[in-house]
Chain A
Amino acid sequence: MTGSQSALIKNLCLCYCDNKPEILEKTVNTVSHLLHAEHGNIYQDDIRLLDKIWKHFQKYGRNQEMLRFGQIYARINKLKVLKVRLETLQFLYALADTASTEHHHDSINRSMPTSSASSFDIPSFSLLSVQQGSSSTKENGLSHNSSHIKSSTSLQKLLHYSNDNETSSSSKSHLHSAMNKINEIDNNTSLQRDADESRILRELLFGMQGIETPRLLANDSNIDRCTRTLITRFLECGWLYEKIRKIINTPTSSLVAQAFIANLSSELREYHRLISVIEQQENIPGMVSLKKLHVWMCTPIQRLKCLAAIADSCHGKKGGQLLSILYMHSQHGDPLQQSILYPLLYNCTIPIRDMIVEWICNGIINDPYQEFFVSTDKMIGEEKLWYDKYTLRVPMVPTFLSMEQAKKIWITGKSINFLRVVCKDRTMLQINKTPASSQSLFQQQRSTEFQDMIISIYNETTRYLRSILDDKYQMMDHFKAIKRYLLLGQGDFIKYLMDLMENELNKPANQVFYHNLQSLMDAAIRVTNAQYESEDIIRRLDLRLMYVSPSELGWDVCCLDYKFDGPLRTIFTEENSLRYMRIFNHLWRVKRMEYTTCGDAEIRRFHTILKPQLKTIKSDLHIVKKAFRDAVLKFLQQLKFHPDITLRSLSFRLNFNEFYKVSYTSKSTA
């Protein structure tokens, strides 16, 4: 190396290093080392150099980069612009070599950003030589001209193509960073570290709002690893933001979901606000750095993550289901998550709360999107109002409501509708109508407000319904009438009826006629204590002939019936009436059996009278006696069975208070 050369290098370095002697020295060293190495290793052809490079890759175990290098090399081969391919490669290799020997090569670059230009004059020179197509003279390369930029950008482009997935610094990325350095030299801009960060920050602010910024690619290779990780975190934020935004933008058909989305958007607004604050701060130099931003963004990111997770799991759900999911998420030990979910739950419960209040106070279902847990079937008429019209949608019951509460709510509204529609009763119940706050729904362990509201309205309504049924429709009297007539409680009536009907019912079933029996029944009513019953009950007492099947007698088909109308028809549905008739039929048969066996008692009397006079045929009589005894025994067994039924059926009926409960629960479970 000649002295003039070294002086030249020195000068060049000096100009790049802003006249800082300590940097200058290092730079000069590096450059001279490079130059020296070039002289030491002159490759005659590509193959040997390539071999060297492969080995270098293998040495550091960078197989991926090796592959990529292969691709790049193929491209470079095709490139017609680059004339001094071998030299370029050689230079690059030398550079990589230096880097691997000097691990802090990057840090040097970073620590002396102002001096970077001087250390990069050599590649610029080689590029220059490429451009000019002349023999490589280092002196020529020192003169700057406009064509540098052109060539360097083309190279940058080239590298861009090949480096879409580049992630971290490596020998390859060293190569890239070298390219970038070339770029920077070409631009002739001394990018400072701060400026770099503020650029990243600005980009990040967009990225965090989910706006794609082509300039801020994660693989941007002039960003070091640590920064890159940070950026990725911020960009995750943008991804989450975008995810939530997408969910918000999906149209929904659910009040609860609308509330949910409104809540999400307000969360995002908060987020926007935060970003705008950061943006403002950023304008003041030195206020925002990546690290600071990272600290600031910690909680918002967590928040966004949580929101995104919830939004994701709630997507497409509605009504109670959505509330159940929210509630599930809110049962979390993390106070942050709790604090996020509380307003969400609060706001989302409001539509359901309003529905519940509307339903239990006025019996109206205000549910345009089918998300309330009580549903109505408009096709069902009022006669089936109680049993079929309103159904409980179990999946729509929010999990924070117990099933019992849901049922109470269901029954309360049903009762109101029953009163309004079937009983034609328009009285507004004077219930304390301060609706419970929405939070008392999902925080029942803290406040009984909601439970109290449900219970009080439920009690009030059912009490009123009961009083209406009792006072206006004499339900109790009808129950008692059923017990007396269908369950044979009115013994004298039943006995007389049986006596009267005996002849008629002994006929085959198809010869039994309703009108005959009807008149007999009327006669029985007139004579027995049934005559003291109220008009209403007697009017309802009726006979029914069941479906006749062959070889049946009148006994098998004739049943007492009790007619119901109005609201009572709802309680005593056709089905229930049939059930009663089945019981009646059974009891009626048992009773008949009793009568028939009692008829045998007359034979016995006959026997008693005759016995003394008929000693001669004693043995014959014994056969009769035995047969009779069997009959009696059977009878006794039957009788044994008898009180059992009596007791069961009576105990079912007798305790009317109990029965009320039974009937209500059975109605609710039906």
Chain B
Amino acid sequence: MPSEIITLQLGQCGNQIGMEFWKQLCAEHGISPEGKLEPFATEGSDRKDVFFYQADDQHYIPRAVLLDLEPRVIDGILKSSYKHLYNPENVYISKDGGGAGNNWAQGYHQGDKLSEEIFDIIDREAENGDSLEGFVLCHSIAGGTGSGLGSNILEKVNDRFPKKLIQTYSVFPMTNEVADVVVQPYNSVLTLKRLIENADCTVVLDNTALNRIATERLKKATPTLAELNQLVSTIMSGSTSTLRYPGYMNNDLISLISSLIPTPRLHFLISAYTPLTSDKTESEVRKTTVLDVMRRLLQPKNAMVTTASRDKNITHCYVSILNIIQGEVDPSEVHKSLMRIRERKLAEFIPWGPASIQVALSKKSPYVTTQHRVSGLMLANHTGISSLFDRVCDHYDKLIKREAFVENFRRLPMFKENLDEFVDSREAVQQLMDEYRAATRKDYINFGNPETTQESKS
């Protein structure tokens, strides 16, 4: 019954954040790294079966599929204390082990070749559950495996399970400095097209913003990858907490997504979390009231995406907001806070729809202790995200003008004849950006309608 969700972890980045995610889930549900239920854990308050299933010996196995084209990261996982947690059958590493070489086309091509084996695993997992609700995909859009293989699998999963939801946690590359992968703008744009067309919901995790948060909020000079991944895992566990601790609202993925996404293409969500603490830092204990938490969530500096509030004379605004508040909360306080935010107009909303800040109250895991009374996660649909795509496109445009590094792509079947796919993808992203910008206007409701498209674009 319990709307199961299968997690697909792809590539280096995907596997790393996935691993942190499972660590967090295990801690929250009182499951030991071996998958055994800790003696202090009691039944009845949580639903472990959304993300786990039980083996014959009653130990919990995550509904996770680990995929990579190179063994390094997965080997690392299998050497960690969590090696017995995963179902070994669900771990798949490409036999040649060469990786995708940061080439989207390579990853995509590999996906075609390996699809049978991969989908053996995915199908088996899918059949395992009574009522599979959807997939969660963890990947980055810059590298080769996560983006290329990810795109491929995204398309295929969408084909095979048309009625299942696909939510992705997509890590966007750093854009403010020289990228460590030269072709990452290509990879990004190509992946974005698949995300636009095949995913139901994409939680955008901007590496730039993650770094910023790690340095600003956690006071780290040079944040390590593990710390960044922990941030991501916090977001992931927070956003799934209503599924795992069933309450009055948002007990399934669809209700989370559908309330946030008014129109299908505007499904790129930004997230924010407060209060942020990492294991090592003793952050000062602040007073956390619901209003404080909700107010902080609306501050751009806490958002996991760097967005511009204004660009090209457009004031960006929120399409919708979902706050997941965890901890001991007096519901009347929530109500009051909402009134306050509305009064002070702390958030700008779309002009064509109701301003909706939804609040889901979620239980806190009894096994994880925090210094904070209340913590909050915000998932928001903000039109400012187009500025992120804008940056990606900027880099892409610079490269494609010179047709730099295109040879690597031409070698693979998809681009053998022409580079149409590049053009298509770029256009898809452009359309998305236009739609986001249009969403800030009152006449958005007519957007995309052939008769009025011209006007709205102008």
A-side residues, CB < 8 A to B, are 487-496, 499, 527-529, 532-533, 594, 597-598, 600-602, 604-609, 611-612, 618-619, 622, 625-626, 629, 632-633, 635-637, 639-640, 642-644, 646-648, 650-651, 654-655
Contacts and interface: CB of A to CB of B under 8 A. Distances in A.
Given A527-B1, A529-B47, A626-B445, A654 B330 contact: yes
Contacts of A633: 262, 353-354
B330 to A, nearest CB: 7
Contacts of A490: 246
Interface of B: 1-3, 43-47, 131, 158, 162-163, 165, 197-198, 200, 242, 246-252, 254-255, 257-259, 262-265, 320, 330-332, 334-335, 353-354, 356, 358-359, 361, 445, 448-450
Contacts of B163: 602, 605
Contact of B254 (A487, A527, A598, A618): A598
B242 to A, nearest CB: 8
A499 B448 CA distance: 36
B255 A618 contact: no
Contacts of A644: 335
Nearest to A639: B259
A606 B197 CA distance: 11
A612 B450 CA distance: 15
B246 A529 contact: yes
A648 B333 CA distance: 11
A625 B254 contact: no
18 contacts: A491-B242, A491-B249, A492-B246, A492-B251, A495-B251, A499-B1, A528-B246, A529-B43, A598-B258, A601-B254, A605-B163, A605-B200, A608-B197, A609-B162, A633-B262, A637-B354, A640-B354, A642-B249
Contacts of A594: 255
Nearest to A523: B1
Contacts of B251: 491-492, 494-495
A528 B1 CA distance: 8
Could you say which of B43, B198, B265, B335 has the most chain A C-beta atoms within 10 Å of its C-beta? B335
Contacts of A639: 259, 356, 358
Contacts of A629: 262-263, 445
B45 A529 contact: yes
A6 B258 CA distance: 142
B44 A654 contact: no
B252 to A, nearest CB: 6
A283 B97 CA distance: 141
Contacts of A494: 251
Could you say which of B46, B257, B354 has the most chain A C-beta atoms within 10 Å of its C-beta? B354
A575 B156 CA distance: 56
A490 B248 CA distance: 6
A518 to B, nearest CB: 18
The 8 closest A-B pairs by CB, nearest first: A532-B44, A491-B246, A491-B251, A492-B246, A651-B332, A650-B331, A647-B331, A651-B331
Given A489-B247, A601-B254, A646-B249, A636 B356 contact: yes
Contact of B158 (A609, A619, A626, A647): A609
A528 B265 CA distance: 34
Given A492-B47, A651-B332, A636 B262 contact: yes
Given A495-B252, A594-B255, A598-B255, A651 B330 contact: yes
A255 B249 CA distance: 62
A529 B448 contact: no
Contacts of B334: 643, 647
B302 to A, nearest CB: 22
B1 A496 contact: yes
Contact of A597 (B158, B246, B252, B258): B258
Contacts of B449: 619, 622
A609 B158 CA distance: 8
A651 B354 contact: no
Contacts of A496: 1-2
Contacts of A654: 330-331
B1 A635 contact: no
Contact of B331 (A529, A597, A618, A646): A646
A643 B44 contact: no
Contacts of B259: 635-636, 639
Contacts of A495: 3, 246, 251-252
